Structure 1
Amino acid sequence: MSKNSLILIVETHKFNGINYNDWLRNLRIVLDFKNQGYVLDKPLPTALPEGSSPEERLTFEKWHEDNRKVRSIILASMTNEIQKQYDRLDDVPSIMLRMKEIYAVPDWHIRYATTKAFFGTKIAEGSSVQSHGVQMLSLVEKLEDLKAGLNNDTYIDMILESLPPFYDPFIVNYNINGLKKSIHELINMLVQYDATTHKSEPTVLVGEASTFKAKEKGAKRWKRKKGNGTAVTATASTGGKGHWKRECPQLLSNLGTFVVEVNMISNSASWVLDTGCGAHICNDLQVLERSRKLSKDEMILRLSDGKVVAAEAVGLLA
């Protein structure tokens, strides 16, 4: 790590009065790299005892030199207003003690907030189980550092509790077989289950169905007569204008009604019920118990008015 990198860390994570824990963590990273972290916690020796050895004298001089350098780093990593409160103090332990008294968040408060976040976190809609597992693992590590007193079984139970109903078969299998896994192993199992289950789900395609009638043996092949088509007389629905049969609005509107029927439900306020389309179109992913995003043009729907639209996701109604 270069000096420029150290300076960048200090400048990027300046202490502003509300980020004490994050600032202290980054400060220790910098000082540990420079082998000067001991200056933060140990009292600065004020004088050498009589009869000190040359080695003890060198240690004393280095300690004071490191104290001077660390003090400069600490003051440089503060905002100007906060910096003025400590620039008259010479030894680093005195600076750190005063900062802790004023700005440090009590451990009980951090422990309460972290525990609340861990027990209340649920996997977000559309997010991967791997990202969710990493988030839960990070909270577990914080609770361990704070000595929250929770064991591995409790962590596992709460991670399983945070999953949606899609993972119910996995949870049942895990509990019935009495599996005992670490958190890392559990997350890997969930990722494999998620990938395997989604990969095995069938792809539902919706398209226009075609009717077919076998030609009778010996029947003559029909040939289209020359001309533009069958004429239709003017009606009120056509605005009093005549048109060819193949251009009839009523005929064209009925062409899209012969489709494969999938994803059908009886009634829901969150669904657009298009009787001409064979699939019910959901306008709110939140009502789906399970959903899967589709790739471009993976599922094409033809609506009753003849329009063709591409579906973005398929799922089961909650």
Structure 2
Amino acid sequence: METNKFNGTNYNNWLRNVRIVLDFENLAYVLDKPLPTALPEGSLPEERLTFDKWLEDNRKVHSIILASMANEIQKHYDRLEDVPSIMLRMKEIYAVPDRHIRYAATKAFFGTKMAEGSSVQSHGVKMLSLVEKLEDLLGLEIHRCDPSVSSSVLRPIYC
């Protein structure tokens, strides 16, 4: 996480890395689920345990998130207690909309031409990396010609 600290310009990459760490720790649910409301009088012991676990997990995730930010950015979020509030605020400010990322990747793919005199191998590697990036962004396995790709502009190229 040290090399992938959030610096204000790498939100999408930072979030992917944070989710990887939190998935490993079984804490990713804290990012998306809102803070449970206070327990009413007469709550069941199981409800109390669930509530206490969420509070403890929220504290852990809060620390992980703050530790993965540059110091200047930490100062803006260290007063917020619940993680979903931090994530919502960060998304509003820093997130790059998915469609912009998909557009840039698609533009790079279709605009890439093999430079004269360059090796076919290096061009092939570059094109494969662009295909993999598009697969990740579109959530598809383009090279398998899956029927779900039929609506994609890329289907005619690979099938």
TM-score bracket for the superposition, by shorter chain length: 0.7 to 0.9
Aligned to 1:126: 119
Distance, in Å, in 2 between the alignment partners of 1:114 and 1:88 is 37
CA shift in 2, pair 1:121/1:54, >3 Å: same
Of 1, 4, 15, which residue of structure 2 is paired with 1:24?
Answer: 15
Q: CA RMSD in A?
A: 2.2
Q: Which runs of 5+ in 1 are unaligned?
A: 1-9, 157-179, 181-318
CA shift in 2, pair 1:97/1:37, >3 Å: same
- Aligned 1:1-318 pairs, distance under 5 A: 10-123=1-114, 125-128=118-121, 131-145=125-139, 149-156=151-158, 180=159
Deviation at 1:130, TM superposition (A): 5.0
The 8 Å contact of residues 39 and 70 in structure 1, kept in 2 or not, is answered as yes
Normalised by the length of structure 1, the TM-score is 0.43
The 8 Å contact of residues 109 and 131 in structure 2, kept in 1 or not, is answered as no
* Structure with the higher strand share, 1 or 2: 1
Query: What is the letter of the counterpart of residue 129 of structure 2?
Result: Q
The 8 Å contact of residues 123 and 132 in structure 1, kept in 2 or not, is answered as no
Deviation at 1:117, TM superposition (A): 1.0
Distance, in Å, in 2 between the alignment partners of 1:92 and 1:72 is 10
CA shift in 2, pair 1:81/1:132, >3 Å: closer
* 3-state DSSP of counterpart to 1:18: coil
Normalised by the length of structure 2, the TM-score is 0.82
Deviation at 1:133, TM superposition (A): 4.7
Deviation at 1:102, TM superposition (A): 0.5
* 3-state DSSP of counterpart to 2:72: helix
Q: Which runs of 5+ in 2 are unaligned?
A: 141-148
Query: What is the letter of the counterpart of residue 119 of structure 2?
Result: G
* 3-state DSSP of counterpart to 1:44: coil
Q: Percent identity?
A: 68
The 8 Å contact of residues 114 and 142 in structure 1, kept in 2 or not, is answered as no
Distance, in Å, in 2 between the alignment partners of 1:122 and 1:59 is 56
Distance, in Å, in 1 between the alignment partners of 2:110 and 2:64 is 39
Deviation at 1:94, TM superposition (A): 0.5
* 3-state DSSP of counterpart to 2:26: coil
Deviation string, structure 1 residues 38-81 (Cα, Å, up to 9, x no partner): 00011011311333222221111110000001000111111111
Query: What is the letter of the counterpart of residue 87 of structure 1?
Result: D
Structure with larger RCO (C-alpha < 8 A, sep 6+): 2
The 8 Å contact of residues 20 and 104 in structure 1, kept in 2 or not, is answered as yes
Query: What is the letter of the counterpart of residue 71 of structure 1?
Result: H
CA shift in 2, pair 1:48/1:141, >3 Å: same
Give the total of aligned pairs: 147
Distance, in Å, in 1 between the alignment partners of 2:8 and 2:46 is 40
Distance, in Å, in 1 between the alignment partners of 2:37 and 2:87 is 18
